[in-house]
Amino acid sequence: MGVTIQSSAFEKRRARRARLATLAQVALAALLALAAVLLITWLSERRGFRARFDLTRSAENTLDPVSVSVIEKLPVEIAIDVFFRGADPPLSGEVAKAQNRMRKLLRRAADESGGRIVIEDHDLSNVARLPARAQARMGELKITALEPGGMLVVSAGTRRELVRLRPDIADLDPGQPGGPGVHYQPPRTVSFRGEEALMSALLKVSLATTKKVVFTQGHGEPDLVSVDHYGLSLLKGELEGDGFEVVTWDGARAGPLPADCDVLVVLGPEQVLTSAESADVRKFVDAGGRLIAAPGVRPLAGEGSLAALLADYGVRLLARGVVAYPLPATAGGAPHYGLEECGDLAIGFEGMPALNPITEPLRRSGRRVLMRGAHVLERAESDGATPVSVRDLLRSPEDSWHELPLPGTEDRFDWKPENDSERGRFLVALQASFSPRAKPPERANDDGRSRPESRIVVIGSKDSFQNYLLPSNRDFILNCFNWAGSREYRVKVSKTNPEARRIDVKSEGSLARVTWIALFGLPLISAVLGIATVWRRNRR
C-alpha cells in the first residue's frame, strides 16, 4: 500500500515537471520568435542588409545613383507634403497615372533616406471640404490655391519649394477628340520628370544658403509690399518662399549698399540714381555681384540713369519707345492696330533660346512670358578689363515693330507702325556675365560651389514683375533670380519611359527571343516542375 502511494506521488511530480518544462519551452520559443521578428524588422530598415531587384526593363523602380547620393547626403530632415487632386477630362486619367508614379517614387526616396524624408499625403478627394490637417498645413506653407493635378511641397524649416504636377513633374498632352474627318488622339504623358524635379527641390531646401535680395527704393520704383495690381507683394512672397531674404535699400537715406547683398534689383526707376548710389552699384557688380534690372516707363538718360549703368556691361537700353505687336483678329482677318493692347507681348518658345537654364524649362512645357511696354535692348561694346558675354533671353514675336512716342510727348503712342518702321523680332530680355573686374569680397555665406562671376539680367518691362502679371510669369522670374544667385539646382537623372510596354518585334533579336521562350523555355520550365513534383511524391 505504501509503495503504491509513493509511486503515485512520484508520477504527479514528474508530470508537474514535464508541464513546467513544456511551459518554459513554449515561453522561450515565444520570446525567441519575438526577438527574431524584432531583429528582422530592424534589419529590414538597414539598407546594407537588403537586396532589392528591379525586374522592369526601364528600371523605373530604381532611383538613379545621383539621386541616391543626394538623399544620402541630406544634412537636415525634409518634410514632403503631397497635395494631389483630380483633374478634369480628358487629362483625368493621365494625371492619376502621373500622381501614382510620383507617389511610388516618393516612397522609394523615403526608404533610401533612413528617416530623413518624412512624407504626408493629404486627402483632397473632396476639395470643397478639406480635412483640418490639410487646411492647417496649407496655411503653414502659405498655399492659397490648388490647381488641377495638385503639387508637392518640399520643406526644411522655413525653406520650401513647390513642385507642381504640371509642368514640373510631367508634361501631359490632352490629345484630340475624334469627329467627322478628325483623327482621334488619346491623352498621353509626353514626359515624366518626377525624379529630376524631386532632387532639384531637395537640393534647394537643404543645401542652399540663404541669399539676400536687395531692391532699390526712392526713385519711383514699384512698392515692394503693395498688394495692388502694380505692386510687388506677390514677387516678395514668391522669393521668400523660394529661400531668399528680401530687403530694400534707399541709398539717399540708408547710406552704402549692404555688404551682405547677393542680388541687387533695380526695378523700374523713374528718377536717376545719385552719384554715390551709382558708384555703389558699379563697385558691387564689378566685384562679382549679381544685378537684375528693368527700365521704368519714362525714358531716362545721362549720368545716374539705368541706361548709363548698363552701357558699362555691354547692354544698350533704348529708353525711347516700346516694342509693339498687332492684335490678332479673332476671326482670322487682318490684325488690329491703333489699340493699347498692341503694347502687350506674349512670348512663347519661338522667342526663347534653347538649352538655357532660365528658359529651357519654359520651352519644354510650352509656357509663355507676358510683357507690357517692353523697351528694346541691344548688345553694346563694353570698356571693362574683362570681356562681357551677352546672350539673348527673350525676343518679341515676328512682325513686331518699335513704336516711338508721338511728337511732343515721351509716353504717348498711336500704336500704328510707320511705313519705314523696322519689323521683326526685337531683343526684350538678355543676360550678361563676365569675370569680376575687382577682387570679390569675402562672404560669410559663400557655399564655395560656384566660381566668382558677375551676372546681370535685364528685362525690358518692369510690368513682368508686378502683381497683375506675376502669376503668369512666376517660373520665368524665379528662374532669373535663381540664375543670378547661382542657384541652378538641376540634377540630371536618367530618363525612364513608363509607356515602353510593347515588344518591338522589328528590333534585331527580339522576335527570336520571344520564339525561343515560347517554344522551348516555357515547356522546359514545365517539365522541370513536373519531374520535381513526381520525385517528391515518390519519396513519401
pLDDT tens track for 131-178: 999 999 999 988 888 888 999 999 988 888 889 998 889 988 888 887
Instruction: Tell me what pLDDT residue 390 has.
Output: 94
Q: Which of 269, 222, 283, 211 is nearest to 481 (CA)?
A: 211
331: left (phi over 0), alpha (psi -120 to 50) or beta: alpha
Q: Which residue in the block uniquely carries the three cell numbers 511524391? A: 537
Q: How confident is the model at residue 506 (pLDDT cuts 50, 70, 90)?
A: very low
Instruction: Tell me what pLDDT residue 496 has.
Output: 46
Count Cβ neighbours within 10 Å for each residue of 84-102 and write b for 16 or more, e otherwise: bbebeeebeebbebbbebb
Check whether domain 211-327+336-490 has CATH 3.40.50, yes or no: yes
Residue 62 pLDDT > 60, yes or no?
A: yes
Average pLDDT over residues 394-420: 91
Cβ neighbors of 301 (< 8 A, separation 6 or more) are: 307, 308, 319
Residue 492 pLDDT > 70, yes or no?
A: no
Instruction: Tell me what pLDDT residue 500 has.
Output: 39
Instruction: Tell me what pLDDT residue 494 has.
Output: 45
pTM, 2 dp = 0.67
CATH topology of domain 65-197: Glutaredoxin (3.40.30)
Mean pLDDT of the chain: 85
Average pLDDT over residues 392-402: 95
Q: What tens digit of pLDDT does each residue of 238-269 get?
A: 898 777 899 999 999 999 999 999 999 999 99
- How many CB atoms sit inside 10 A of residue 511's CB? 13
Average pLDDT over residues 59-83: 85
Instruction: Tell me what pLDDT residue 446 has.
Output: 54
Q: How many CA atoms lie within 13 A of 24 on its CB side?
A: 6
Q: How confident is the model at residue 306 (pLDDT cuts 50, 70, 90)?
A: very high
156 grid coordinates = 526644411
Spatial separation of the C-alpha atoms in residues 443 and 486, rounded to whole Å: 14
Q: Could you state, in order of their start, the residue ranges of all structural domains in the chain?
A: 65-197, 211-327+336-490, 502-532
Residue 40 pLDDT > 80, yes or no?
A: no
Spatial separation of the C-alpha atoms in residues 112 and 168, rounded to whole Å: 22
401 burial type by CB count under 10 A (0-12 exposed, 13-18 middle, 19+ buried) = buried
Residue 503 pLDDT > 60, yes or no?
A: no
Q: How confident is the model at residue 12 (pLDDT cuts 50, 70, 90)?
A: confident
Spatial separation of the C-alpha atoms in residues 479 and 491, rounded to whole Å: 15
Q: What tens digit of pLDDT does each residue of 440-470 get?
A: 887 655 544 456 899 999 999 999 999 999 9
Q: How confident is the model at residue 55 (pLDDT cuts 50, 70, 90)?
A: low
Cis peptide before 452 (omega within 30 of 0): no
Cis peptide before 186 (omega within 30 of 0): no
Q: How confident is the model at residue 527 (pLDDT cuts 50, 70, 90)?
A: confident
Helix, coil or strand: residue 114: coil
Angle between helix 194-207 and helix 65-72 axes, rounded to 10 deg: 30
Which amino acid makes up residue 383?
D
Where are the extended beta strands (E) located within 85-184?
Answer: 117-121, 150-156, 159-164, 170-173
